Amino acid sequence: MAKKSAISGEYIIQVEDNGSVVVFRIFDNVKASLREVAEAKGFEYDKEWTTRQFGKKLCKEYGDGTSATVGDYVIRVKEDGGIETYRTYDNVKGALREIAEKVGFVYDTEWTTRQFGSKLVDALQ
C-alpha cells in the first residue's frame, strides 16, 4: 500500500507505508518500449508490425501470452487487445534524479532514497 504517490509525465513515484520508494514508468510510446525490450533480448521483429502484433508476440515468447516480464519491463495485453508497457526501476535513486532533473527539482546528493522520494513526491503534489 502506498502512503503517498505522485505522477510526473510517464513516471509514478510511490512511497510505501514502510517508507520504501518505488518508481514506475508507464510508456506513452509503447512501440518504442517494445523495441527496447526486443533489442535487449535479441528478439527479431518486423518494423511493420503494429503495436498490438508486436506486444502479443513478445508476450507469447517471454510470458503466458497475455503478459510478460522481461528484465525491468512488463508488457500486458489489455482486455480490448491494446498493449501497455511499464518499467520498474532497480536503481530507484537514479530514477528519482532523472525525474528531478526533468521537473527542475533541486535535491541534496546526501539524501537517502527514502528522503529523496518523499521530498520529490511532496514537491510534485
pTM of the model: 0.74
Crossing angle of helices 92-103/113-124, nearest 10°? 30
What pLDDT, on a 0 to 100 scale, did the predictor assign at position 13? 96
Output the tens digit of pLDDT for each of the chain's 125 residues: 679 999 999 999 999 999 999 999 999 999 999 999 999 999 999 999 999 999 999 999 999 999 999 999 999 999 999 999 999 899 999 999 999 999 999 999 999 999 999 999 999 99
The residue type of 9 is G
Return contacts of 15-18, CB within 8 angstroms, 24+ apart.
Answer: 15/114, 15/117, 15/118, 15/121
